[in-house]
Each structure stands twice: as structure tokens, then as C-alpha cells.
Structure 1
């Protein structure tokens, strides 16, 4: 932190990560409370000696005739719980002394030694403030940051009698049938809870169930009493008419099984003819139903109000759950990062065979849909308060599904998720550069280029152009398998002679052509179109009239005397 950086922060004004405080009458208690408040947000910088409007008025010395930065940091460390390590600097700006305290974002909720807990938020007018931090919000924050597993919290007053033996039998049946954990299926009820980490010994030595045990195995009354926010809704629409509107507060394993059965009853198949074989293409592959529902039940924020919703309508299958993505998970890394909000619940679902053990369930969802010629799940409507997975319904791209099936049959192995994504993107957008593919698939450029090179060797895609104009498109073999060879001819583009013929014909028909029109006509980039047009002008086949955005090429016979 230097003077230039402080000036920059002051010029931007107060934000959630920048706080100004008047230099006089800002005592140690207020200093510690402000720093703890900022640490409970995104961290930031506290500037003492700066007015709310950004005027630099200077800070009163805090230690006699000077301010000792080390003593400021020591004060904060001694009066925060857990201990917070800050970095304080004192600098002179416009002949005034400013104290800059750099505050880290804390992984744990920070309070003062006096028991004050604050959090950072915005007022209605958009300016920041520190407000009291309620206990229920602190718990939700700890869970979101991965510091606390909700399922490990004690269910106050609950005993093993509040757990339903039928739910333990359900768990054993699931674990045995799936083969996910045959050992745990042979344990007693208490031993299962111990293996899953959802019981804790009380002072009297008796095992007491946690909230996770009640969620997984509790009877109806226990679930309602200890987990008031837990609820699941299944809604089925036909047009605007609601055919099913079912709500339940049953334990998780029972809910999951019920939802799977309800979706299976609705699910329909299309048929793909592959030689003498008929292949069923379901609206929703089983893995998609399983992973979408299980993820919502496991990863939802159980401190937030609202049900998990499973909604089927004419256009989509949607699963919505309260709470943001788990810590570290974002839209751009969904396929590569697996970070459960509750590791205990995730482990229980894995042992029951309800989710993918490798933690790549969402990748399996994407791959299973793309393999069947269907669109991938869409998570873009997710917010800081909910996660929404939307799977578009409708007819599958059966020709593309046939191509994928034939390729996998020939190679004897499933096509990779990257290959499936690229095939779908090029099928939809015709031509893309490596940069465009990398951006759309949220992958590095090096990773993308390596994958595309492998697809070229496999005969799935082809590369045209050079330099920045290099574009990828589906190969001739793929278009042939799609029963659409003419599309390949159009996509592949034309050689220079054919391009010149097409441009000449266009000019004869319409009088002139611009660079953008030539690029669209020949299905090449604007830079490639410019080179073709300039070459034709140099050969005397065309004449350039106008400049910049108004530049157009005409036939020599249509050019004026000063333009030919």
C-alpha cells in the first residue's frame, strides 16, 4: 500500500472494501469494531484521516505525538476473536497524516473481545455501513465458507428414538443395490450413523444424532421439529395447467427416491435407428435426474428458507435450491470443481449410490445430455440466493446423436466431454476460432488447442485459414454422417477462385459489395474478405470507392473516371 494506491482508493469513494473515518474521536473500540466488520465481508482498507466525502483532514496521533503502525496491528490482534492479522501503514498525503489499515477477508466469523459481531452491507443510497450480525446469519456464513458442516451440528434434544428404522433399511437397500458401499449396508443403525459421522457422544456417553442424522433418517415429526426450513416440492405442468403440486418434508433418502420415481413416470423416449438397432433417446437420462436432484438436496443451504423445487413443464426440467453455489464453485468452473456445502451429506449420498463418487456428477450430466443430441444444463439463472439448473426439453438432435453413437461404436470408448461440447458448438455456430471455443467452454486456450488437434486427428473437425483467421468446423465425415454434405461445402468455404467468382456474381447482381457482405457471402472472416477484395482490385476486377465504413467495391464499368 503506497500513497498512489491510497489516492486511487480515495478518488473512488467508500465501497464495501474501502472505509473512510475522521481522524479525530475515532477511538480504539470503534477501530476494532470497524476492522472486524470488514473482515466479515471481503476485507479491504480502512483509511483513518479521511472524511466521508473524500477530503483528507488527517488523523490524530494515537500514541503520544505519533502513530505506531505495529501497535495498531497489535491492538487489533489482541481484541479480535479469532485473532485478526492486519497490516497498518502511516503516510503523509497533502501534508496530512493518513493511517491505512489493510484488512484481510477472514475464513471465520470475526468478533471483538467484547462480544460485538458486525457485518458489512450497503444502505439504500448505496453507501456502505456496518450492521449487527445476527446469529442465524453467522451460522449461514460459516457454512458457506466451509468452516462448519451443517449436518454435524447437534440436533438439540433429539435421540436415536427420533430416527426411523425404515429409513435405515432404505439406506441399506440403496447401498447394496448400487454396490456403492456393501460394507456399510451390513451395519446396525447406530453403526451406520457412526460410519457417516452423524452422531456425537453426549456427556452421559450415549450417542446423540446430529442434524444430518435427522435429515437422513428422521421420522416426520423429528424432521419438522429440527429442520423447519427443509421442504421439497414437485410440480408438473401441462401448458399452463398444473397437473401435480406435491410438497413434502420427508427425510432426504425417501424424498430422493420419491422424486426419482415421479420423474421416471413422466419421462418419455424418442427412438434413433442405427442400422438394424433402435436406440432409445429419453427426454431426461437417468444420470441427469439423479445428479440434479441429489445435488439440490445435498448442497442446498438448510439455514435459508424455501423449498427445493423440481419443476417439469413443456419446455424444461428445472431444479432450484435455496442458497448460492458452495464455496469455490462458480459458473465458469462447475465442471471442474467439486466442493460440497456439507461433506457429511455428500458422503452419505455417495455411499447410498445416489451421486457420483468421483465428484464429477455435473460433468456426467453434461456428457449424458450432449451424447443424446440434447442441450446441456443451464445454470446461468443462479444467484447469490439460489442455484437453478435448467435442462431444456424438446426434440433431440437425432442426426448428431447418431454421429456420436457411431463414433463411440467404432472407437470402442465414450467420447470425451470436451469433444461432445465442441461438436455441439460447431453444429450450432458453424465456425469458431480456438479463442471462441475456449471462452464458451470455460477452458484454457492451450487446453482447447490440444483438444482440437486431437479432434482433427480423429477426423471430427477441420481447420481452415491461417493466423488470426484460423477457424474450426465439423469435418466432411461428420457432415456426411449427418446426411448433409451440401452444408459441409458451404461451411468449408471456397477456394480463392470460387470466392472471386461468387463476389463477381454478387457485384453483377447488386452493383457493389462491402467487406462485411463478402465475408458473409464466402463464409470467411472480415480480414480474409479484405484480402480477397484487395487482390481483385489490384488485378483490375473490382474498383474501390469510398473509405472506411463507406468503402465498397464495384465493377470497373460502374466506377467513375476518377476511381478507375
Structure 2
């Protein structure tokens, strides 16, 4: 670790994977609580010899260092405690590094995420933001076990789940949707059983030898009573909370198969959100439908269905937001440049992709960042964790007709698409095309923009 790395960490402060500790003669018990929580979450770094801003009484973390003469003894003490069975049930894996910073010795303890649930003196700790939390409920503990598992729960085989327990009447529609997505789709020529096997909804578990239809099959095509028996906690609670903020203005609770659940949730969003068309190049699209589809597909496709946490879709005065249980590999805010798209349920995701309900992995996040500002005047907030949270700003009906600053719209379009057109800017800013041409002409004259093409859909790009 370089000095620049330390400087950057001091600026960013503590977080999900960074902790500062004052260390006198020997580490205190809270150091081991952090090591336990890091091993149970996503790993991290404990820096001995750095004091957090709140504890140092300053406006920023302070490097006070540890006694160089005791460095070996401190490292030996930590190693002994980690391998003491009366301290840890399973020793967390750590590495030590000594860093000289401003003539102070900083001891870095790098903790790797462990394959098992670690306990310190019988207590499980988890890392939430910048704190170490005791796990006190069965639901929290179950979430850690789920996070540690390397299998996909959607693949669980139910030997007694038969084809008669599935909504085969939906398959005719599935074939039409698949053919609309791709001409000559192979599902068009398959019978029902062949289609289900092709979609990996019938599998053999090579560890147990059992074979049959899976949790994914039940969720996608199961009859309502079958789904309620296999996944009793599954539901999506959708409600509007504008006038009555203590309860709700309108509400539906969706417990049916994922195909019809998608339709019900989309219809609910379309009922309560204003429609706003946007010219993307020469193509007019509904921003309401694009954003609603991405949020709904995400909460249905990437949910951890073995977690009892109920999913939500909430429409309030300023946003549409969703929450669903997750099995994260990363914790924190997502952005177009900071996320690794990993499928939580690859079989369900592929099924939705085949019927045109979802696109390639990661495209949903990119579309939300691409279109959110045009719909609600701001960027979305996506936060990954045991509960995945998504929020997209929404303009009210009165706000959606208000004029926006033309130059601001031009800059947002250049950032999102790399070019602008007169018609698209006029559509978003709610001004005339003549007004937009005046602004663009000024930028062309100033050498900021360059026109390409001669038609009404002429594009303008940055000159640099």
C-alpha cells in the first residue's frame, strides 16, 4: 500500500470495508469485532494507528501511529487471538502490512471474506456502513448464510412439483413473446415439456441425485397455491403514498407468477405515473415505461426469494422506488462506472431475456442512469446490500410541463448520449425548437459544438 493510498483512505474515511483503530499496548476487543464483521461481509482493512475524526476531535482522521517497538508483539497477539478456539469458532484469514506515513507507523490488517459464518465469543458480527453490528435475529443470520452460499436458490429441485402444478396456459403467450423478440425462436417449435427443459426449469441435482422442476419453474409459471406453498413469503407490495403519507392512496399486493406479476406491477406504475415521451435520436420513447420496466424487471429477476423480506414498489410525491432482498457481492452505492453485474437468478434472468422483459446483464442500470434525468430531473440512487434499494426521481404532472433551462438539458444530453438534437432538447425542456436552435447556434459560434448531418435530426457533438 502506497502513501497515496493512505492519503486517499484518510480523505474517504471509514466505511463498509475500512476501519480506523487507536492501538495502545495491545488491540482492544473492538478490533476483533471489526475483523469478525469484515470476514462475514465483504472483507476490508483495519488500520491500527489511525483515529477517526469523531474520536480525534478534528475535522478529519488523524494518523497517530503505533509504537514501532511493539509492532511484532501486536501482530503476534492478533494472530494468537484469531486462532484461539475460545475466541473465534473459525479463524478469519488476515494479512499484516506495515506502512510508514508522516513518520508514523501504521499497521494494516487486511481481512478476507470467509466461506463460513464467523463468531467472536459466540456472537456473529456483520458490517453495516461504518459500524460493527451484532446479529440478533434469525432473519439477519439467514441473510449472512445465504450470502455465503455459492449456489443459486432458484435451482433448488422439488421432486414432487409436477407439470400439472404449472400454468401451461401461459406458454402460448411465452412463445409469442419469444418470437416477437427473435424471429424463428426455437421455443416456437417445442412442445411444453421441451420448452421447460430448454429454459432449464427442469434440472437434475448432481449432488443429491434428485431431479425435477425447480424453484425458478414454480416462480415463473406456478399456480398461485403452489407458489404460496413453496415460497410463502413471496409477495410484492406496491402502493402510492402521496396524499395519505401515513397509509396509502392506492395499493396492490402481488403474489402470482412472475410473468403476470410483471404485468400487474407495470399496469400499476402506468396508472399512477405521468407519461413523458422523449426523442432518442429519431425514435420517440416513453420514459415512464422504460424506467418502470427496468425497476420492475430488476426487483423480480434479481431478488433472493429464500429471504422472507417482502419486496416493495412505492410511488410518492417525488420518486418511484423499489426494495427487494438481495445476495450482494458488493455493498454500497452503484453507478455506471462502479458495478459488476452479477446475476442473482441467472435462469429467471435468461427466461425474461428470451421473452423481451429484460436485456443483457447490466443494461437496466445503464438505462436508468441514461433516462432518469430526462424523466425526473435527477440521477437514480441504487444501493446494493442485503436489501437492494432503487430510487428514481419523478416529476409531478405540473412539474413535467414546466420549462427547463435549455443549456442544462443540452449538457445532460451530451453527457448521456454524446450528442444532442434540436427536437430532443425542445421536447425535454418544453420550449420551442426555435429557442433551442438559438442556444445551439451560440454554442456552435463559440466553437463548443459541431453539427453533423443536414436533416431535421441533425446531431450536434462537442468539438473537444
Structure 2 residue aligned with 1:201 = 205
- Report the TM-score, using the length of structure 2 for normalisation: 0.61
Structure 2 residue aligned with 1:298 = 301
| 1:268, distance to aligned residue in structure 2 (A) | 8.6
Residues 23 and 49 in structure 1, CA contact (< 8 A), matched pair in contact too? no
Segments of structure 1 that go 5 or more residues without pairing to the other structure are 273-278, 399-423, 462-473, 497-564
Residues 17 and 38 in structure 1, CA contact (< 8 A), matched pair in contact too? no
RMSD: 6.2
Structure 2 residue aligned with 1:211 = 215
SS across alignment from 1:160: coil
Alpha-carbon distance in 2 for matches of 1:92, 1:488: 55
Residues 296 and 320 in structure 1, CA contact (< 8 A), matched pair in contact too? yes
Residues 13 and 53 in structure 1, CA contact (< 8 A), matched pair in contact too? no
SS across alignment from 1:196: coil
| 1:232, distance to aligned residue in structure 2 (A) | 2.0
| 1:111, distance to aligned residue in structure 2 (A) | 2.4
Segments of structure 2 that go 5 or more residues without pairing to the other structure are 57-63, 447-464
2:42 is equivalent to residue 36 of structure 1: no
Residues 320 and 392 in structure 2, CA contact (< 8 A), matched pair in contact too? yes
Q: 1:84 aligns with which of 76, 87, 93?
A: 93
| 1:196, distance to aligned residue in structure 2 (A) | 2.8
Mapping of 1:165-180 within 5 angstroms?
A: 165-166=166-167, 168-171=168-171, 173-179=173-179, 180=181
Alpha-carbon distance in 2 for matches of 1:267, 1:393: 8
SS across alignment from 2:397: coil
2:103 is equivalent to residue 102 of structure 1: no
Alpha-carbon distance in 1 for matches of 2:273, 2:66: 69
2:257 is equivalent to residue 257 of structure 1: no
Alpha-carbon distance in 2 for matches of 1:271, 1:6: 48
Residues 40 and 118 in structure 1, CA contact (< 8 A), matched pair in contact too? yes
Alpha-carbon distance in 1 for matches of 2:378, 2:7: 45
Mapping of 1:134-533 within 5 angstroms?
A: 136-137=139-140, 139-141=142-144, 147-152=150-155, 154=156, 159-161=160-162, 164-166=165-167, 168-171=168-171, 173-179=173-179, 180=181, 182-184=185-187, 186=190, 188-189=192-193, 192=196, 195-196=199-200, 199-201=203-205, 205-235=209-239, 244-261=250-267, 284-285=288-289, 287-302=290-305, 303=307, 305-309=309-313, 311=315, 318-323=320-325, 327=329, 330-333=333-336, 338-357=341-360, 359-361=362-364, 363=366, 375=376, 379-380=380-381, 385=387, 386-392=389-395, 394=397, 428-431=404-407, 441=415, 451=418, 482-485=432-435, 488=438, 492=442
| 1:256, distance to aligned residue in structure 2 (A) | 1.5
- C-alpha change, 1:362 and 1:43, in structure 2 (3 Å) is closer
SS across alignment from 2:335: helix
Residues 109 and 138 in structure 1, CA contact (< 8 A), matched pair in contact too? no
| 1:53, distance to aligned residue in structure 2 (A) | 7.7
2:125 is equivalent to residue 118 of structure 1: yes
Alpha-carbon distance in 2 for matches of 1:56, 1:252: 55
- Per-residue deviation, residues 432-490 of structure 1 (Å, max 9, x unmatched): 699x759x94x7xxxx8xx35xx5xxx859xxxxxxxxxxxx89xx99x9353598279
Alpha-carbon distance in 2 for matches of 1:352, 1:280: 22
Structure 2 residue aligned with 1:17 = 19
Alpha-carbon distance in 2 for matches of 1:489, 1:26: 63
| 1:6, distance to aligned residue in structure 2 (A) | 9.4
SS across alignment from 1:333: coil
Structure number with greater Rg is 1
Alpha-carbon distance in 2 for matches of 1:460, 1:14: 46
- C-alpha change, 1:114 and 1:163, in structure 2 (3 Å) is farther
- C-alpha change, 1:209 and 1:137, in structure 2 (3 Å) is farther
Residues 239 and 251 in structure 2, CA contact (< 8 A), matched pair in contact too? yes
Residues 162 and 219 in structure 1, CA contact (< 8 A), matched pair in contact too? no
| 1:120, distance to aligned residue in structure 2 (A) | 3.6
Alpha-carbon distance in 1 for matches of 2:67, 2:335: 44
- Per-residue deviation, residues 6-29 of structure 1 (Å, max 9, x unmatched): 99999x9998612456645979xx
| 1:83, distance to aligned residue in structure 2 (A) | 6.6
Alpha-carbon distance in 1 for matches of 2:33, 2:241: 52
SS across alignment from 1:103: strand
SS across alignment from 2:309: coil
Alpha-carbon distance in 2 for matches of 1:340, 1:17: 30
SS across alignment from 1:318: strand
Residues 93 and 114 in structure 2, CA contact (< 8 A), matched pair in contact too? no
Alpha-carbon distance in 2 for matches of 1:53, 1:316: 37
- C-alpha change, 1:490 and 1:88, in structure 2 (3 Å) is closer
Alpha-carbon distance in 1 for matches of 2:48, 2:192: 60
Structure 2 residue aligned with 1:525 = none
Residues 163 and 214 in structure 1, CA contact (< 8 A), matched pair in contact too? no
SS across alignment from 1:431: helix
| Matched residues, number | 415
Alpha-carbon distance in 2 for matches of 1:262, 1:225: 26
SS across alignment from 2:407: coil
- C-alpha change, 1:215 and 1:491, in structure 2 (3 Å) is same
Residues 45 and 103 in structure 1, CA contact (< 8 A), matched pair in contact too? yes
- Report the TM-score, using the length of structure 1 for normalisation: 0.52
SS across alignment from 2:234: coil
- C-alpha change, 1:77 and 1:355, in structure 2 (3 Å) is farther
- C-alpha change, 1:437 and 1:14, in structure 2 (3 Å) is closer
SS across alignment from 1:17: strand
Alpha-carbon distance in 2 for matches of 1:92, 1:184: 63
